[in-house]
A and B are shown apart, each in its own frame.
Chain A
Amino acid sequence: MEILLAIIIGTLYASGIYMILRRSLVKLIIGIILLGNGANLLIFLLGRIAKGAPPIIPEDSKVFLDAYSDPLPQALILTAIVISFGLQSFAIVLVKRAHKVVKTDDLDEMNATDEYS
């Protein structure tokens, strides 16, 4: 399971970075989404996976008796997902407006800010 997740995370990071390096605005956003998902899965994997061991202390004891799956990464991932949801929706609105104003999808043509004036 860990190996599989590690491969998936690697693929997500690699394809995300590849997409960010493309010149199209839409592909840039796809790249950002993939990278964000890769990071979320990484948190999940690094919180150590323990299958079928919910983090609940039995009623007659005060501490955990066995290895348990860590609940914190899920809270972290949920937070990160909410944040990336906001960022990505903003990014889509931004790209749409930029496309309407600049009338191009090509990042190389967006050089009004670099003009020497």
Chain B
Amino acid sequence: MKTIILRTASNYMLPLLLIFSVFILLRGHYLPGGGFVGGLIASIAFVLHAFANGLGDTRKLLHFHPGFLMPTGLALSFLSGVSPLIFTGEPFMTGLWYPEHLPIVGNLGSALFFDIGVYLVVQGVTLTIIFTISEST
């Protein structure tokens, strides 16, 4: 599937899709959206790039093995889950919120970090699986 149209388009689509995925991730803060969907969109961006330019190029673009995203994301989610245990002594997964309203970001809470973790894990899992499938053909 190495057509010139798809290749040119994918170069512009990749940053756009990544920005869109981050937008979806942050919007999930209060509105519909969230880490899972954002992660899927981000991984679709890379899969599209891999379709257009071949797997090798995408790997080079990523610099590291996508599998590494899994423990990083899990660790982030895990830490946001146990943070109430450590800081306030409330049960596991209780939402902690920064009391002030921050400009641009809005209210900051542990839920956002949980979602970022999910975002990374979903990307890691999806990319690992798709790379494994398309590599061994």
Contacts from A to B (Cβ < 8 Å)? 78, 82, 86, 89-90, 92-93, 96, 100
Contact = CB atoms under 8 A, between A and B. Distances in A.
A13 to B, nearest CB: 26
B33 to A, nearest CB: 12
Contacts of A89: 125-126, 129
Contact of B129 (A78, A82, A93): A93
Contact of B133 (A78, A82, A86, A93): A93
Nearest to A92: B133
Report the contact-size class of chain B (Cβ under 8 Å from the partner). under 10
Contacts of A82: 36
Interface of B: 36, 125-126, 129, 132-133, 136
Contacts of A92: 133
Contacts of B133: 92-93, 96
B95 to A, nearest CB: 15
A90 B126 CA distance: 11
B27 to A, nearest CB: 16
A90 B130 CA distance: 11
Nearest to A89: B129
B97 to A, nearest CB: 20
Contacts of B36: 78, 82
9 contacts: A78-B36, A89-B125, A89-B126, A92-B133, A93-B129, A93-B133, A96-B133, A96-B136, A100-B136
Contacts of A78: 36
A82 B40 CA distance: 11
Contact of B132 (A86, A93, A100): A93
A89 B129 CA distance: 7
A102 to B, nearest CB: 15
Nearest to B34: A78
Contacts of A90: 129
Contacts of A93: 129, 132-133
A90 B136 CA distance: 15
Nearest to A82: B36
